């Protein structure tokens, strides 16, 4: 989710924000600025942190200048993402920058609230450099962030009086927004104390748990937003793909076995071209989709299929391989290791087509690495 979307959501929960509006053309940016008080901030909307340093946040003093900066940002690439929109805001006079966020702690198996006396930078970096400036509070998911938890964190940031109460409300609103939308992470960074003693969310970021999208139909369109076209194609077939820069194509079942296979290729001196986990119980169609994806990649010189069948059936895998070889004309060396459920049937099917099947994963990896190195 980009800043603008996270902010729109926080606004619904009553979190104070700078005045501003979204623009997708320089002209629109000009219009937005005319309805705001100068000076202005023009911010590229890309779903990554650290965009300030990458030149994605610029400042202007007139609507004309806003228009010019917007035309510079729109269409530019920042940290690998094309800028499709900019957020034009009134520039806030900041006295102090803080950090507040809620995230999942894998070690504590629960949510944690994190407050930092220093904001505007990566909170993990602050925690490493100056741990005394960061407070992490473990939350009981059945109790949530109680008002006294919020006050404890505000107090830690160094506030009392009305400021303490203002932060209490703000932290609770952020927490509620995060939980209501199944956020793995919701953070306001920097959370700014303004020169007139108010608190505003200068920047906000939110990562929603993909697995919870069924509860948020309005966010369904976000499902594949950060994925490459190949990753989307794989995900639509219940597979998982990651592109790598080598020349040995890989098709495997199970995340751990796939990772271990890539590691072995590397250990034996080869370079994997991809991670492709076809998951459990793959049909012959899924296997065929996977094999086509890998063989049709120009950089792939040779491919390895490494299947250890549990709920995946070797005969289905064999059928998928044969169907693919019948349907595409690309021919590249293929090393196949196939063991487990219905292994005999799978081997027989492939043997009839003149395809040799191996039993040992390590032997198969050695062989494919050697073929890729020789080039045939």
Partner 1 sequence: MGVLVDKNTKVVVQGITGRQGQFHTKLMLEYGTKVVAGVTPGRGGQAVHGVPVYDTVAEAVEEHGAEASIIFVPAPFAASAALEALESGIKVLVIITEHVPVRDTIKVVSYAKRVGATVIGPNTPGIIVPGECKIGIMPSHVFKPGSVGIVSRSGTLSYEIAASLTRSSLGQSACVGIGGDPVVGMSFVDALRLFEEDPHTEAVVMVGEIGGNLEELAAEHIAKEGYPKPVVAFIAGRVAPPEKRMGHAGAIVMSRTGSAESKISALRSAGVEVAEKPSDIALLLRKLLRA
Residue among 24, 323, 358, 373 at smallest CA distance from 32: 24
Q: Which residue in 187, 193, 316, 343 is the catalytic one? A: 187
Of 181, 197, 294, 306, nearest in space to 248 by CA: 294
Q: Which H helix or E strand runs over 168?
A: helix 161-180
Contact 350, 317 (CB under 8 A): no
Burial of 364 (0-12, 13-18, 19+ CB in 10 A): buried
Q: 11 or 209, CB closer to partner 1?
A: 209
| Helix, strand, coil percent values for the chain (each to nearest 5) | 40, 25, 35
Cβ of residue 371: shortest distance to partner 1, in angstroms? Answer: 19
170 in Cβ contact with 15 (< 8 Å): yes
Q: Contact with partner 1 (CB under 8 A): which of 166, 308, 325, 355?
A: 308
Q: Select from 231, 318, 227, 340 the least CA-distant residue to 277.
A: 231
Nearest to partner 1 of 104, 166 (CB atom)? 104
Active site residue 31: no
141 scored as a contact of partner 1 (CB under 8 A): yes
**Cβ distance to partner 1 smaller for residue 243 or 352:** 243
Q: In whole angstroms, how close is the CB of 270 to partner 1 at the nearest point?
A: 10
How far is CA 140 from each of CA 99, 110, 123, 168, rounded to the nearest angstrom? 21, 7, 22, 18
- Alpha carbon dihedral 6, 50, 244, 263, in 10-degree steps, equals -100
Alpha-carbon span 190 to 98, nearest angstrom: 5
When asked if residue 110 is in the footprint of partner 1 (CB under 8 A), the reply is yes
* 222 Cβ contact partners less than 8 Å away, ≥ 6 residues apart: 1, 208, 213
3-class DSSP state for residue 190? strand
- Among the candidate windows 70-78, 169-177, 186-194, 205-213, which touches partner 1 by CB under 8 A? 205-213
Give the angle 117-123-125 at the CA atoms, nearest 5°. 110
Site string for partner 1, 210-239 (x = CB under 8 A): xxx-xx------------------------
By the 8 A CB rule, do 251 and 305 touch?
yes
> Binders of partner 1 among 6-45, rule CB under 8 A?
none
Site string for partner 1, 315-344 (x = CB under 8 A): ------------------------xxx---
Asked if residue 311 binds partner 1 (CB under 8 A), the reply is yes
Contact call for residue 185 and partner 1 (CB under 8 A) = no
Answer yes or no whether residue 124 interacts with partner 1 by CB under 8 A.
yes
One of 152, 257, 325, 355 touching partner 1 (CB under 8 A):
257
Q: How far is CA 187 from CA 14, 20, 71, 113, 177, in A?
A: 15, 19, 29, 10, 11
| Nearer Cβ to partner 1 (140/225) | 140
List 37, 132, 142, 221, residue binding partner 1 (CB under 8 A): 142
Q: Which of 158, 225, 362, 374 binds partner 1 (CB under 8 A)?
A: 362
Active site residue 187: yes
Closer residue to partner 1, CB minimum distance, 212 or 296: 212
- The site that binds partner 1 (CB under 8 A) totals a number of residues, namely 52
| Binding segment (CB under 8 A) for partner 1, from list 51-59, 64-72, 270-278, 320-328 | 270-278
Structure tokens belonging to residue 341: 């459920």
**Among 55, 147, 160, 280, which residue interacts with partner 1 (rule: CB under 8 A)?**
280
By annotation, the residues acting in catalysis are: 99, 187
Where along the sequence are the contacts to partner 1 (CB under 8 A)?
Answer: 104, 106-107, 109-111, 122, 124, 128, 140-142, 179, 182, 184, 209-212, 214-215, 240, 242, 244, 252-260, 262-267, 272, 275, 277, 280, 308-311, 339-341, 361-362
């Amino acid at each position: 989710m980009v800043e603008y979307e996270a902010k729109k959501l926080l606004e619904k929960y009553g979190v104070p924000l700078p005045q501003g509006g979204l623009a997708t053309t320089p002209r629109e940016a000009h219009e937005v600025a005319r309805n705001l008080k100068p000076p202005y901030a023009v911010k590229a909307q890309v779903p990554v942190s650290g965009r300030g340093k990458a030149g994605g946040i610029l400042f202007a003093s007139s609507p004309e200048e806003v228009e010019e900066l917007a035309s510079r940002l729109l269409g530019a690439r920042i940290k690998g993402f094309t800028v499709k929109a900019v957020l034009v805001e009134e520039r806030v006079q900041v006295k102090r920058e803080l950090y507040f966020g809620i995230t999942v702690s894998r070690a504590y198996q629960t949510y944690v609230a994190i407050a930092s006396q220093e904001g505007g930078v990566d909170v993990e970096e602050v925690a490493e450099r100056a741990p005394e400036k960061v407070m992490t509070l473990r939350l009981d998911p059945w109790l949530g962030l109680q008002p006294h938890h919020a006050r404890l964190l505000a107090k830690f940031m160094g506030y009392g009086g009305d400021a303490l109460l203002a932060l209490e409300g703000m932290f609770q609103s952020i927490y509620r927004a995060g939980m209501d939308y199944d956020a793995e992470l919701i953070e306001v960074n920097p959370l700014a104390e303004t020169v007139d003693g108010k608190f505003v969310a200068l920047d906000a970021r939110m990562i929603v748990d993909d697995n919870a999208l069924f509860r948020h139909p309005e966010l369904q369109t976000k499902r594949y937003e950060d994925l490459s076209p190949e990753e989307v194609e794989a995900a639509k077939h219940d597979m998982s793909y990651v592109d790598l820069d080598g020349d040995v194509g890989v098709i495997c079942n199970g995340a751990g076995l796939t990772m271990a296979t890539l590691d072995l290729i590397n250990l034996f001196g080869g370079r994997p071209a991809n991670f492709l986990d076809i998951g459990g119980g793959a049909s012959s169609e899924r296997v065929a989709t996977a094999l086509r994806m890998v063989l049709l990649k120009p950089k792939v010189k040779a491919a390895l299929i490494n299947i250890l069948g549990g709920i995946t059936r070797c005969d289905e895998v064999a059928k998928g391989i044969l169907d693919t070889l019948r349907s595409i004309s690309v021919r590249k060396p293929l090393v196949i290791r196939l063991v487990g459920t219905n292994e005999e049937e799978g081997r027989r099917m492939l043997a009839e087509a003149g395809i040799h099947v191996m039993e040992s994963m390590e032997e198969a990896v050695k062989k494919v690495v050697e073929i890729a190195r020789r080039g045939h």
